[in-house]
Amino acid sequence: MSADGRGFLEDKLDVACVGRESNQYIVSRIPYEQTTTYIKGTADAPRAIVDASSHIELFDETLGVNASQHGILTVEPEITDLDSITSHASQLAERHPDAVLGFLGGEHSVTPAILNGLSPGEVGIVWIDAHADLRRRFHGREDNHACAGLNSLEFGNIVQIGVRSLAQEEVDYLDTTDRVKCFRDWSDQVKEAIRGLPDKIYLTVDMDGFSPMLVRAVGTPEPGGLMWEEVMDILDFVIGEKDLFAFDVVELCPREDDVVSSYTAARLVYKIMAYHTYHKL
């Protein structure tokens, strides 16, 4: 349970059938926001996602599973900077070696900090985003959220899906590397790229990877983007073919007049758990 008493799906979990000492899914609230530049508010996203989760049904109507039966524990560490995120991720990986670790951001710069703490060894990264985040520096900072993709390459090769906004320096970089494969749409070509990644997978979902027709409350709502069923197909493929060990959902900027975006983010988090339960448990 988080410090404010709210955990992901906590008010719905049946304590009689969930072993609270042994949880398959650990959810961390990471309200870090230091470098956002357009629409701000990602620090409020973990709270909004947890609040919205109270209205999600535990049974998955398409997969026929109830992921919550395997245990979901929510934690809220004290986050002051990227180093504190790395330290928290390291402690989680040590304490819960068999759990799937989920992180609710926060801006996208949390991703390399999390990976640094998890020390996953050989790993592939599946990156859903409207942006490649491959800048070397942005607004004077190398740890900017616009640099998160480049900073994550230290930990593994990346397959990006949904990217539809690129800076010239990112285009130039993509032309010279085989470590990042960047795609606008979900396709068989993307599937082959994912198959080429190591079996151990980290999934990161920037909510602006979705079409703004579905998710508007993001820092940069780019036209185009992935629809819900496409993202579900991505989850089904990635989790079915690979070994998902951790994930994050980032860059939601919750608004009081847009509960759809917050609810969609919460539903996405639980869908990741549901696909894992369906394929692995």
* Residue-level pLDDT at 5: 59
* Residue-level pLDDT at 14: 63
Q: How confident is the model at residue 12 (pLDDT cuts 50, 70, 90)?
A: confident
Q: Which are the contacts of 273, defined by CB distance < 8 A and separation ≥ 6?
A: 24, 25, 67, 68, 72, 100, 102
- For residue range 130-176, list pLDDT tens digits in order: 999 999 988 889 989 999 999 999 999 999 999 999 999 999 999 99
Average pLDDT of the residues in 174-199: 98
Cα-Cα end-to-end distance for the chain: 24
Which domains does the chain show, CATH number per domain?
Answer: 25-280 (3.40.800.10)
- Report the chain's mean pLDDT, rounded to a whole number: 94
Average pLDDT of the residues in 197-201: 98
* Residue-level pLDDT at 1: 46
Q: Which are the contacts of 8, defined by CB distance < 8 A and separation ≥ 6?
A: 27, 49, 50, 53, 72, 74, 104, 266, 269, 270
Task: Give the integer Cα–Cα distance in Å for 57 and 189.
Answer: 34
Q: How confident is the model at residue 11 (pLDDT cuts 50, 70, 90)?
A: confident
pTM to 2 decimal places: 0.96
Chain centre distance of CA 198: 18
Q: Among 140-144, 207-211, 274-278, where is mean pLDDT lowest?
A: 140-144
252 has a pLDDT exceeding 80 = yes
195 has a pLDDT exceeding 90 = yes
Average pLDDT of the residues in 177-182: 98
Average pLDDT of the residues in 54-72: 96
Percent of the chain's residues with pLDDT above 90: 90
Average pLDDT of the residues in 105-130: 97
* Residue-level pLDDT at 124: 98
Average pLDDT of the residues in 20-45: 92
